[in-house]
Structure 1
Amino acid sequence: MTIWTIGYEQSTIPALIAALQGAGVEVLADVRALPLSRRPGFSKSALAANLADAGIEYRHFKALGTPADGRAAARANDHATLERVYAGQLELPEAMVAGAQLAELAREKRTALLCYERQACGCHRTLLRKAVLADFDAVDLLP
């Protein structure tokens, strides 16, 4: 089993879609707490529409997003705080349910995790993958 991850920092919608299609991704799992962006096309509705046009399903997993203090830690490159805050997030009942739903989806369809950070190593999507999808091989895409 494989799980893909992708960040849209410094990217465009066409580049993101090309990377997803190149990997054969069927579903983009948006793991942002707030699926909003100042980058054109990356807010939830526009992103879902662009993906649908490309034949890729969009699913939002709000409960698997990073709380505000975790996002602040990520911006400050404080990975230890991000890890601590996000570990607490994953213990919430709604995150446990969402994690189980994500794992089931990833077993059924070729799924990629989406967040903002270009490099997966500095993003909560890697923490999520290790905690919830540990039995999956990971491929980090760069659009």
Structure 2
Amino acid sequence: MTARNIWTIGYEQATVAAVMNALVEAGVEVLADVRALPLSRRPGFSKSALAASAREAGIEYVHFKALGTPADGRAAARRNDHSALERIYEGQLQLPEAIAAGAILADLAKERNVALLCYERAAHGCHRSLLRKAVLPEFGVIDLLPAD
């Protein structure tokens, strides 16, 4: 079996156009929004607008709410308390709805090129790196950085 990759991307300090360009250039087919709350103060990054931009770019958009970080995990991330984020997010991933969503994500990623999207520019400080390690451990990872 050929090894599969998973892509990740954060939209911090990026435009929608830069994010879409990075995804298209990488050959991403599905944008997996792994934010608990798919809202943003940044124009174009709330769920409906982002889904429309993805469709325009020829990319399917799927929101995985259950794979997002709960409020206390987001607070830990803002404090740069990565150990608390890890502990909180590990608990999130044990919830039945997160287990089911993780299985759907894994099946999708086995068939198509999927990118995990969240806010943080650097994947190592974001829950998407924890998600990838927990749900897609056999996948190679390609962290995309939108060029703005």
Scaled by the length of structure 1, the TM-score of the pair is 1.00
Q: Equivalents in 2 of 1:57, 1:14: separation in Å?
A: 16
Q: Which amino acid aligns with 2:15?
A: T
Q: Equivalents in 2 of 1:142, 1:125: separation in Å?
A: 14
Q: Which amino acid aligns with 1:2?
A: N
Q: Which amino acid aligns with 1:120?
A: A
Q: Equivalents in 1 of 2:12, 2:103: separation in Å?
A: 27
For structure 1, the residue ranges without an aligned partner over 5 or more in a row are none
The Cα of 1:127 is off from its aligned counterpart by 0.2
Q: Equivalents in 1 of 2:35, 2:120: separation in Å?
A: 11
The Cα of 1:33 is off from its aligned counterpart by 0.1
Q: 2:49 matched to 1:46?
A: yes
The Cα of 1:21 is off from its aligned counterpart by 0.5
Q: Which amino acid aligns with 1:77?
A: N
Matched-pair identity in %? 74
Provide Cα deviations, 1:16-41, integer angstroms capped at 9, x if missing partner. Answer: 00000110000000000000000000
Q: Which amino acid aligns with 1:139?
A: I
After superposition, residues 1-143 of structure 1 pair within 5 angstroms as 1-143=4-146
Q: Equivalents in 2 of 1:96, 1:127: separation in Å?
A: 14
Across the aligned residues of Structure 1 and Structure 2, the Cα RMSD in angstroms comes to: 0.3
Q: Which amino acid aligns with 1:29?
A: A
Scaled by the length of structure 2, the TM-score of the pair is 0.96
Misfit runs of 4+, over 2 Å: none
The Cα of 1:138 is off from its aligned counterpart by 0.2
For structure 2, the residue ranges without an aligned partner over 5 or more in a row are none
